[in-house]
């Protein structure tokens, strides 16, 4: 039996822990919040992140990441992107030799502007071939209900990707593989910025025409920066690109779309985030994407508009007008 450690019990980590348990794995989970660990230990097993979901009584949840990693055959990294480096430092002394890491967070590290695989390589040198990421249109709320879902596993080692594909795939959860690690990671991160903009459009009361145009031009921006940073153009037409973009811009489960919607309705970013118990990765990613675009001289007007609204206090409606009245050009530009 494969022993899997799931480091992070937010909505996605919880959903994957339950999925892998159904796949026949022995699953041990780490939860960073001692209060929540204590609640689970008392038998109060309702997940605060997935309403209506009760964790099985025999699912092991520990407050020690070192404990769950010891002896693991595979470790799922399910913490938010901004905590990944700290998590890897804690894992480094106790990771079994040869145990692969599967990262399911999506983002860009703020200060370094590194992709998450690059953060892992910096903290765990020599284990690059043991790293994969899992990305694509996959809301935890639907995965834990067994709703058919397709995702992509990306990495540099074909054998590892085949192993991850076999371990995670089921009749309701289909895994494709992709060797374009940079493209898959960037697609998963950058779509959250566009989802913030899509939510703003909803909050402002705009219609389907607006959102369709925004998503289409947003995909152009994702591919533009993604290829400048080493990704392949075709990756952005796949699950980690347009697939994840569609679901994140349209779904009621999308935290990034919800944040954008509330801002479009006139609330401040601080007010919106204060009322959330889960992380909207797109807020931090907006800062990283905006700076990467500047450094690489890549035109990303939608990203620039989202950045101006979030961090410079610009009015969302005025930013839409500014985007609509930019210099006219051919579509491919």
Catalytic sites, residue numbers: 191
**DSSP string of 290-319?**
HHHHHHTT---HHHHHHHHHHHS---HHHH
Q: How far apart are the C-alpha atoms of 228 and 226, rounded to whole Å?
A: 5
For residue 46, give the 3-state DSSP assignment: strand
Q: How far apart are the C-alpha atoms of 333 and 318, rounded to whole Å?
A: 23
Collect all residues with Cβ–Cβ distance below 8 Å to 99 and sequence separation of at least 6. Answer: 69, 72, 73, 74, 75, 130
DSSP letter assigned to residue 201: H
Sheet harboring 60-62: ordered strands across?
A: 60-62, 26-30, 3-7, 74-77, 101-103, 131-135, 149-155, 173-178
Please name the residue that has the structure tokens 């889960």. 278
Q: C-alpha distances in angstroms, 130 versus 30, 78, 118?
A: 21, 16, 13
User: Which of 248, 275, 267 lies closest to 309 in space, CA to CA?
Assistant: 267
> Sign of the CA dihedral 109, 158, 74, 121?
negative
Q: How far apart are the C-alpha atoms of 200 and 227, rounded to whole Å?
A: 27
Please name the residue that has the structure tokens 């903009």. 197
* Residue 15 contacts residue 45 (beta carbons within 8 Å): no
């Amino acid at each position: 039996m494969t022993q899997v450690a799931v480091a992070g019990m937010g909505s996605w980590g919880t959903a994957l822990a339950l999925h892998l348990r159904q796949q026949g794995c022995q699953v041990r989970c780490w939860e960073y919040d001692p209060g929540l660990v204590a609640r689970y230990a008392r038998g109060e097993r309702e997940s605060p992140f997935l309403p209506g979901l009760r964790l099985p009584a025999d699912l092991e949840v520990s407050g020690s990441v070192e404990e769950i990693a010891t002896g693991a055959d595979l470790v799922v990294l399910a913490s938010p992107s901004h905590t990944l480096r700290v998590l890897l430092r804690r894992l480094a002394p106790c990771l079994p030799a040869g145990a692969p890491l599967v990262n399911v967070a999506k983002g860009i590290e703020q200060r370094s502007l590194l992709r998450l695989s690059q953060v892992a390589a910096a903290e765990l040198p020599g284990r690059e071939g043991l790293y994969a990421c899992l990305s694509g249109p996959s809301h935890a709320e639907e995965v834990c209900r067994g709703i058919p879902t397709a995702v992509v596993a990306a990495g540099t080692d074909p054998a590892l990707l085949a192993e991850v594909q076999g371990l995670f795939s089921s009749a309701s959860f289909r895994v494709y593989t992709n060797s374009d690690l940079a493209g898959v990671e960037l697609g998963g991160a950058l779509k959250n910025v566009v989802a913030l903009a899509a939510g703003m459009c909803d909050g402002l009361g705009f219609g389907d025409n607006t959102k369709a145009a925004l998503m289409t031009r947003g995909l152009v921006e994702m591919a533009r920066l993604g290829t400048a940073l080493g990704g392949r153009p075709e990756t952005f037409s796949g699950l980690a690109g347009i697939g994840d973009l569609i679901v994140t811009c349209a779904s009621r489960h999308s935290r990034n779309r919800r944040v954008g919607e509330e801002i479009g309705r006139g609330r401040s970013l601080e007010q919106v985030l204060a009322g959330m118990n889960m992380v909207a990765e797109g807020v931090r990613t907006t800062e990283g994407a905006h700076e990467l675009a500047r450094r690489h001289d890549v035109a990303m007007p939608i990203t620039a508009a989202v950045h101006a609204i979030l961090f410079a206090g610009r009015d969302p409606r005025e930013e839409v007008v500014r985007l609509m009245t930019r210099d006219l050009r051919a579509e491919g530009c």
